[in-house]
């Protein structure tokens, strides 16, 4: 007989988290400490997240989390919940177990004022969320990149490293001509003060670059063997600010990284990075949502051009 409960992060014991992390290793092949778990899930505007915990005869067989954030819709604050870390033990991976965890987590968040759930499902989960859980498309995020040391991306091409370094230098120098300083006005965006105060406590290693009143956060990570500088967020967003800040990241990190990457949605064509065609992206970022309360949002919700969205809205980096 399955037993499904909802707990807030602050209600979880060390033993609860140890069991969750064991399942995390089994499903995602990554380890995580209790401190890392709490760092991510307790650094929220509420001081906790919501967790659906599914057990069978005392053994953890399923887990799903919802992290609350404050967002703005035309300047008015609302609570949105990011659905992440859905996992089920082998032998228990069926539609109904996952559905039950989603529904329970959504209801618990709704009861405390959450009016929207957002998610970034992979291609395998994407059709399940849409058809089974009634999530709707907002859009797909784009991947922008600049190869600096191509031999670090593909070892067989290392003889071309001098050419890739020259190419990246030319792109960055050309981006100096980026002159459009018009700030993007997004209808849906993070409440900046609360977001910046908590989101960058999740993981170690975030760095900040600033030029004038513009700021970018980035994180250098060895991602699948490639030393990558991930541009996580830029604010305020404009073509000029984006290109100037990428230039600064390049200046700081070019001697030690293979690649600069930004995943998000831009309403302009940057001069500092190249856009990767969706068909060759190593990972697709499907941006979806589900209103939990009727008549709070109109159809503008489902247009990605209305959203300030990038890797900071998610938990990959």
Q: What is the mean pLDDT of each run of 10 residues along the chain (317 residues)?
A: 94 97 94 96 97 95 98 98 96 93 98 98 93 96 97 95 97 94 96 94 94 96 95 97 98 97 97 95 94 97 98 88
Domain definitions of the chain by residue range: 2-140+283-313, 142-280
Residue 84 forms beta bridges with which residues? 65
> H or E element: which one contains 45?
none
> How far is residue 69's CA from residue 86's CA, in Å, rounded to a whole number?
18
> How far is residue 242's CA from residue 218's CA, in Å, rounded to a whole number?
12
The phi, psi pair for 78, rounded to 5°, reads: -145, 165
- CATH T-level assignment (fold) for domain 2-140+283-313: Aminopeptidase (3.40.630)
Give the count of alpha carbons within 13 A of 75, CB side only.
1
> pLDDT value at position 282?
86
Same fold: 2-140+283-313 with 142-280: yes
258-267 burial, b at 16+ Cβ within 10 Å, e below that, comes to bbbbbbbbbe
> How far is residue 103's CA from residue 111's CA, in Å, rounded to a whole number?
12
> H or E element: which one contains 5?
strand 2-8
> pLDDT value at position 1?
73
> pLDDT value at position 286?
96
> How far is residue 290's CA from residue 5's CA, in Å, rounded to a whole number?
22
Integer distance in angstroms from the first to the last C-alpha of the chain? 37
Give the position of tokens 């191509």: 150
CATH class held by domain 142-280: alpha beta
3-state secondary structure 96-139: HHHHHHHHHHHHHHHHCCEEEEEECCCCCCHHHHHHHCCCEEEE
> pLDDT value at position 307?
98
Residue 60 forms beta bridges with which residues? 55
Residue 200 near residue 229 (C-beta atoms within 8 A): no
pTM of the full structure: 0.94
Cα-to-chain-centroid distance, residue 82: 9
């Amino acid at each position: 007989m399955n037993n499904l409960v909802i707990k807030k992060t602050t209600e979880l014991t060390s033993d609860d988290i140890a069991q969750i992390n064991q399942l995390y290793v089994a499903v995602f092949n990554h380890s995580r400490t209790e401190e890392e778990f709490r760092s991510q899930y307790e650094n929220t505007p509420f001081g906790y997240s919501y967790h659906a915990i599914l057990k069978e005869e005392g053994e953890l067989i399923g887990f799903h989390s919802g992290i609350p954030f404050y967002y703005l819709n035309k300047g008015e604050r609302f609570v949105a919940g990011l659905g992440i870390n859905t996992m089920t033990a082998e032998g228990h991976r069926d539609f109904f177990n996952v559905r039950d965890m989603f529904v329970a987590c959504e209801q618990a968040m709704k009861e405390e004022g959450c009016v929207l759930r957002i998610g970034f499902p992979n291609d395998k989960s994407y059709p399940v969320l849409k058809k089974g859980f009634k999530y709707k498309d907002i859009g797909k995020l784009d991947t922008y990149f600049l190869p600096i040391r191509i031999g670090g991306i593909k070892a067989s091409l290392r003889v071309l490293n001098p050419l890739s370094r020259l190419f990246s230098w030319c792109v960055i120098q050309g981006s100096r001509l980026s002159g459009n300083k018009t700030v993007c006005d997004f209808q849906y965006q993070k409440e900046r003060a609360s977001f910046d105060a908590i989101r960058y406590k999740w993981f170690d290693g975030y760095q900040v670059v600033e030029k004038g009143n513009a700021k970018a956060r980035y994180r250098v990570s060895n991602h699948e063997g490639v030393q990558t500088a991930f541009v996580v967020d830029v604010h305020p967003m404009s073509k000029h600010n984006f290109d100037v800040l990428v230039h600064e990241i390049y200046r700081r990190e070019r001697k030690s990284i293979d690649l600069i990457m930004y995943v998000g949605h831009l309403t302009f064509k940057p001069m500092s990075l190249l856009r990767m065609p969706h068909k060759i992206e190593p990972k697709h970022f499907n941006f979806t949502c589900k209103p939990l309360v009727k008549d709070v949002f109109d159809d503008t919700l489902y247009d990605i051009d209305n959203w300030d969205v990038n890797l900071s809205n998610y938990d990959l980096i």
